[in-house]
Structure 1
């Protein structure tokens, strides 16, 4: 096919993308060779790096459009990465090994966030931070500054590590262009007043300062008493004739008015004018359906440098990229054609690395990379203009500066060029909102044959969510806040389980003091001044004798537990869903969820998702966790899992909570259902499940869940602690392995039992609840919440409440050995009784309840 030509006879590829502006406004770019003369040219020409466009901005009419930044112009990701990485190697050569080892790299939002990352990569040993326009409650501001010529001026510095910018080593500041130098001066002035240092290095793709601006920076450095070096790919100046600002604004108004009229004629008055020729073309094909990919992003790996990105983070990302690229490759299909990977505003580096991995893997004919932006730029469909097409869509991530338009440039096909067969839109989970689908994705869909949405989990420092979130703008019309869609916590950073075993939809409160003496907690709870979920008991540390009892119990009952695991899992697969999403109720349900997942994998080759969520008696299930689940999975596939039923309080709590969340099945499944509260179970026998013997040390070292208003805001997950210090006593994985070792042995028995269960009437009788009411009345407790039936609940009473007495089924054997030992250690009497539907029942001491009486009818002294 012959190349298309302009009216001047040049091919489109030969036309500089600045001629349109230069011809009309007289704007000129003038090279200033940075290398020695004479000799070969050492830097690219400005016209190779920059095009020109116009924007509606009262401070500056023209826009220098980089060809290698990956922002406005789709470019090969290898080219984009190489530009920044090469600058980083030059910085390393300038600083030397010692200076590079002490350096910190700082990039500017939004345009240079990815470039700064690449410079840090080239430098090799430096941590990276970029400024942000997205406030994050709970993260202290380490600085801020203004960008005088920008459309959105306020920059925040929010490092997770408060001392990141406090050192005295070289500070490397990275921006896409160095024009007046005002932004850099503002930054250095702010940071130098806090933490003075002797050396600053400014890095940019192009240095476009005037002689006066160069002199001003030199004088500023002398005033500080610091050295300031500058490294750029190319340097030069921009010549602007008199009146260029007014002429530029007039051109923008003229062409936007014309584009608005064209778009209205083509699409009707309801379509917003975008100044893009793409909307005036012939009717587009039907919009493409969205293929969603939830990337298997490494747990707790930041999605970028908003809160800091270290060399260790970089190594983790490097190691994960092949698998991440494989996920995207699978989503692209067999013939992806020409692919665009489109990042989102500040989220540049992660999409760039994904795009580069795709390009190097070679699944597509061609891969290009760019990102969306806040910057409003005129689009003119002319080969001599840098911004050929423009898509407009509303912001979708609840920005701090309020709603507004966002833009994607050169994505829609120009009149004389190629479009993209596939677009991969990469967003972080904070931007994964309904507005994303009605905005950006809806704008992209008509312009590509295949649309893929890849979601990277938004990184929020663990303690950030402890701050009040009252200042976050609501995204709903009735002023209810939607959750910050953070990703699940996973081991080994949170819990001792393998990362694939369970994802915890919780926030990490490990740094918060939450434990209180047991009797103080009980007094506050029974007096009505506190809820049990507002504090934690001190973790019980088992004696050597008790640990030996646990090991004996595990050896005796592992096969029995394995059979119950197989029975409940096979029943779920047969009746609930062929591909269930297991959601265990933290924390007693979590070992059961891990075991069910292992059974499904061992017996059927299924890799079932498994998450743990918090449910609190009297407060309900974590609504934000449910919203997260609904956003990432079909609610109909979600199966809630717990360890056992006592009197069925949590069963009732779950059903009540799910009334507000249609689509989820409210029927919980359990390993043991001695109270006959649920229709799906592994057994209805009340026997010792060894995981009930211990607390966190058999549940991934995770505490009970916490719900307290000063710690859990309206957009937070409930909280929990990770007891890393108890790793030496942890048996969580040992327990799971011991039970799973019996799967093959019990498989035949499970098959027979499931056949019988599927044909049986399993309607709950709630006989356990009736027994609890009877016991409560008989023992004068008058509060059923103080009666804890079943081996598991009785054990919990002895471990973390103030027990009054234990009722044991007459003749109960080894299943109660550990209960008898705990009762002896705590001085609690064990009464053998007849007619219990449970093996045992634990009674919490009612001495803190006004008017309580004991078994003999006498008043119990209150404390």
Structure 2
């Protein structure tokens, strides 16, 4: 790459505003030599063997007929013509279209040239910015420059990337937008998943294929600077074709803004147009317009390729793409390319990888990787919404076009879409790469894209990349829950305005009859009597040391085994008070500020996968520790292990305060004792309900739901519980550390003794369903508070730990049977009278 020529204007406003323009050829802008030493095909429209005029500049036809001239500084005309050709637009605002020969949009091109061109520009921007390059953010323009901008970000190396979009995405709130007046589709949205992506003070690098008047860039900078002001912008384009008036306008704009603006382009020049160019262009288009070729008739085979796209990896930069995402993609590309190569026809010589409108970068990188996985020549291009006249003449950039209906439910309706220079190019196979939002019936329709491709190639392959859904943000107190904001981030959606409560008996019948799942409704919140509240406070005072000791023990074990960078993910809601206490122990005793989130898991339906995606996007999955209050027979332990299998990197081992069932290896104690937070419902859990999963309320990209019972604030003891236990931390610190050391040296393998006991009890009492047997103090409390209890089995001599159990049983008229043969302090049995076949029961209470 030659050194850029730099022109610096006179500084204004004391040197705070400056426009710098740098032009010169990037490393991969021109065609490269083939591996066999012969020259690669000139990147134009003339395919090999197609035309005796091959080698002519693919702009001559338009230039001669419209008197359009591309003028460049002395010695640069060749560079400009290497980069662009000319075609006729079907647009009343502009008659001509500059057709890039290195962009991979309208002209199929070698992927290493397309990606290499952007890499070269990014490397130049990195040199220009110096030490500020590590703080830069890159913004590309839809649809044409999405892959170019992404490639520039690759060249910078450390820059996150975002591109504008014309596709509204449900659940994604725009943080900005701007207009592109001359375009056929003018409105651009900015939909970063993390709005902080644009909030930093580092340079913003704006990338487009051409810099013609500067209006679009000025609109963008003006809109963003009002919300995210910064001191420096860099504009990157393949070609800079502004006139002197436009350059002066940008200089004044920078001065008014008080910011520095740099311009980096591969070539510079000017497009000279006659005054009547619009009329002449429209007449020429009418004279040479011809109907596009029809799609393939009858059934046509389409071979799907399962790419094995990495879970949670964004499909592009529509919602942001970080350096960590880039590393994951690079690692996965060879394997995905091998899967495509295995489906190519034997002896394939020419293959086209065809992207879909804004989805350019993923297909580009797949095409680049496929080049190394097959002996065939691989080309890359994408479909577009830009209407351009096709003229099969030498010296014209767009020789053929395919026209088909839009298939991605776009905001501007199902209007026509186009694929240029695909028909008649001798491709033995076309690999159509779309995101899942575009894999619709319209894509597969008789007049759809795949049918058109089938008429012009021997094999059509379809590779679908999962559409990235932007993730919602965690809820925090005091807007949601009575906890402090830094105690926990709830990976839930707020359903406080939805009526979800049902009477206990009615709900039990629906659950046991199979008519409803327990997570589709909520029990009516138990309002404790004055006597029961007194028992809670007595139990808390009596057990605070014991709870604090167990909190310290399990936290110290985790820090010793998993390291000091762990992330706590408590299972809402019983695990959440424990997670808060573990976080406070780590801060109080070890000076650590551990992130803590609450996630939902539902028996029979698994863990909240959107919450997992959020955790994986913001933290290393290997450092995430799932936290619960206690174990019963181990159903949730098994549920979590099953749910995490499709999500590599997460450790399914649950850390609990008490493990009387012998179900986990990370615990504070295996004694079945009263954890006071089990005595109440929302009023000891931040006023948050149990979690809800119902199809009409929770969509594919939503968190599970829950309610915030603000109206119960007068009865809330959540903070009191935390503060009472935290006040004992210093007193139990040494003992907890000793217990942790003992556990680290002990055999902590799960025994599953609790599961065996539950099976025996179920058989002895003729229940026939282990889900109706709830072992342990915590689970028995839950049965009495929100199910239809049948009886309680209590271990003889259990003492004060069961005072609240006896009181609740008395209030509900439930017999308490004492027994000597019980591994738990108590066991609650749900009344089996509603059982009629399928029994979907309250699995969240089963641990």
**TM-score relative to the length of structure 2:** 0.59
Quick one: structure 1 residues 101 and 546, their matched pair in 2 at CA, closer, same or farther if it must change by over 3 Å?
closer
1:588 corresponds to which of 603, 612, 634: 603
How far residue 374 of structure 1 moved from its aligned partner, in angstroms, is 0.5
1:510 aligns with 491
Q: Are 2:693 and 1:707 equivalent residues in the alignment?
A: yes
How far residue 335 of structure 1 moved from its aligned partner, in angstroms, is 3.3
**Is the CA contact 1:586–1:704 (under 8 Å) kept in the aligned structure 2?**
no
Q: Are 2:40 and 1:59 equivalent residues in the alignment?
A: no
2:405 aligns with 394
Quick one: structure 1 residues 805 and 709, their matched pair in 2 at CA, closer, same or farther if it must change by over 3 Å?
closer
1:843 corresponds to which of 820, 831, 840: 831
1:429 corresponds to which of 429, 432, 436: 436
Gaps of 5+ in 1: 34-40, 261-273, 467-507, 548-584, 592-610, 615-643, 647-687, 696-702, 722-728, 730-736, 741-767, 776-787, 834-838, 847-863
Quick one: structure 1 residues 231 and 217, their matched pair in 2 at CA, closer, same or farther if it must change by over 3 Å?
same
1:403 aligns with 414
How far residue 105 of structure 1 moved from its aligned partner, in angstroms, is 0.7
Aligned equivalents of 1:586, 1:227: Cα separation in 2:
51
2:329 corresponds to which of 306, 309, 317: 317
Aligned equivalents of 2:800, 2:73: Cα separation in 1:
85
Q: Are 2:280 and 1:247 equivalent residues in the alignment?
A: yes
Aligned equivalents of 1:160, 1:690: Cα separation in 2:
41
**Is the CA contact 2:119–2:151 (under 8 Å) kept in the aligned structure 1?**
yes
How far residue 312 of structure 1 moved from its aligned partner, in angstroms, is 1.2
1:28 corresponds to which of 69, 72, 79: 69
**Is the CA contact 2:507–2:523 (under 8 Å) kept in the aligned structure 1?**
no
Aligned equivalents of 1:447, 1:69: Cα separation in 2:
23
How far residue 79 of structure 1 moved from its aligned partner, in angstroms, is 0.3
Q: Deviations over 1:326-372 (max 9, x none)?
A: 222222244333111111111111111111111123x1410000011
Aligned equivalents of 1:151, 1:144: Cα separation in 2:
16
How far residue 162 of structure 1 moved from its aligned partner, in angstroms, is 1.4
**Is the CA contact 1:132–1:155 (under 8 Å) kept in the aligned structure 2?**
yes
How far residue 795 of structure 1 moved from its aligned partner, in angstroms, is 2.1
Quick one: structure 1 residues 790 and 284, their matched pair in 2 at CA, closer, same or farther if it must change by over 3 Å?
closer
1:204 aligns with 237
Secondary structure of the structure 2 residue equivalent to 1:56: strand
Aligned equivalents of 2:114, 2:199: Cα separation in 1:
31
**Is the CA contact 1:392–1:407 (under 8 Å) kept in the aligned structure 2?**
yes
What is the number of residues matched between the two proteins?
575
1:376 aligns with 387
Aligned equivalents of 1:125, 1:289: Cα separation in 2:
42
Quick one: structure 1 residues 462 and 691, their matched pair in 2 at CA, closer, same or farther if it must change by over 3 Å?
farther
Aligned equivalents of 1:394, 1:822: Cα separation in 2:
69
Matches within 5 A, 1:369-768: 369-413=380-424, 418-438=425-445, 439-463=448-472, 510-512=491-493, 532-534=519-521, 587-589=602-604, 706-707=692-693, 711-712=697-698, 719=704
Quick one: structure 1 residues 286 and 694, their matched pair in 2 at CA, closer, same or farther if it must change by over 3 Å?
farther
2:305 corresponds to which of 285, 293, 309: 293
1:132 aligns with 165
Q: Deviations over 1:443-480 (max 9, x none)?
A: 211111111111111111221899xxxxxxxxxxxxxx
**Is the CA contact 1:820–1:830 (under 8 Å) kept in the aligned structure 2?**
no
Q: Deviations over 1:391-450 (max 9, x none)?
A: 11111111112221111111111xxxx321111111111111111111111221111111
**Is the CA contact 1:30–1:236 (under 8 Å) kept in the aligned structure 2?**
yes
Quick one: structure 1 residues 15 and 285, their matched pair in 2 at CA, closer, same or farther if it must change by over 3 Å?
farther
**Is the CA contact 1:57–1:151 (under 8 Å) kept in the aligned structure 2?**
yes
How far residue 718 of structure 1 moved from its aligned partner, in angstroms, is 7.7
How far residue 95 of structure 1 moved from its aligned partner, in angstroms, is 0.4
2:624 aligns with none
Q: Are 2:218 and 1:237 equivalent residues in the alignment?
A: no
How far residue 844 of structure 1 moved from its aligned partner, in angstroms, is 9.6
Aligned equivalents of 1:739, 1:356: Cα separation in 2:
52
2:774 aligns with 795
How far residue 225 of structure 1 moved from its aligned partner, in angstroms, is 1.8
**Is the CA contact 2:519–2:693 (under 8 Å) kept in the aligned structure 1?**
no
Q: Are 2:185 and 1:152 equivalent residues in the alignment?
A: yes
**Is the CA contact 1:789–1:842 (under 8 Å) kept in the aligned structure 2?**
no
Q: Are 2:164 and 1:176 equivalent residues in the alignment?
A: no
How far residue 24 of structure 1 moved from its aligned partner, in angstroms, is 1.2
1:603 aligns with none
2:123 corresponds to which of 89, 94, 97: 89
Quick one: structure 1 residues 239 and 521, their matched pair in 2 at CA, closer, same or farther if it must change by over 3 Å?
same
Quick one: structure 1 residues 253 and 73, their matched pair in 2 at CA, closer, same or farther if it must change by over 3 Å?
same
How far residue 284 of structure 1 moved from its aligned partner, in angstroms, is 6.9
Aligned equivalents of 2:316, 2:453: Cα separation in 1:
24
**Is the CA contact 1:586–1:613 (under 8 Å) kept in the aligned structure 2?**
no
Q: Deviations over 1:817-850 (max 9, x none)?
A: 9x999988744545599xxxxx99513999xxxx
Aligned equivalents of 2:799, 2:151: Cα separation in 1:
63
Quick one: structure 1 residues 376 and 513, their matched pair in 2 at CA, closer, same or farther if it must change by over 3 Å?
closer
**Is the CA contact 1:46–1:236 (under 8 Å) kept in the aligned structure 2?**
yes
Aligned equivalents of 1:199, 1:544: Cα separation in 2:
52
Q: Are 2:338 and 1:326 equivalent residues in the alignment?
A: yes
Gaps of 5+ in 2: 1-40, 476-488, 511-516, 526-542, 552-599, 611-632, 636-659, 668-688, 707-739, 741-748, 753-761, 810-814, 820-826, 835-847
How far residue 251 of structure 1 moved from its aligned partner, in angstroms, is 1.3
Q: Deviations over 1:273-326 (max 9, x none)?
A: x2xxx55xxx97976411112322222211111111111111111111122212
**Is the CA contact 1:509–1:719 (under 8 Å) kept in the aligned structure 2?**
no
Aligned equivalents of 2:195, 2:354: Cα separation in 1:
32
Quick one: structure 1 residues 716 and 199, their matched pair in 2 at CA, closer, same or farther if it must change by over 3 Å?
closer
**Is the CA contact 1:117–1:349 (under 8 Å) kept in the aligned structure 2?**
yes
2:378 aligns with 367
Aligned equivalents of 1:448, 1:214: Cα separation in 2:
46
1:343 aligns with 355
Aligned equivalents of 1:194, 1:185: Cα separation in 2:
15
1:223 corresponds to which of 244, 256, 259: 256
How far residue 222 of structure 1 moved from its aligned partner, in angstroms, is 1.6
**Is the CA contact 2:254–2:261 (under 8 Å) kept in the aligned structure 1?**
yes
**Is the CA contact 2:84–2:100 (under 8 Å) kept in the aligned structure 1?**
yes
How far residue 11 of structure 1 moved from its aligned partner, in angstroms, is 4.4
Secondary structure of the structure 1 residue equivalent to 2:462: strand
Aligned equivalents of 1:77, 1:536: Cα separation in 2:
58
**Is the CA contact 2:473–2:491 (under 8 Å) kept in the aligned structure 1?**
no
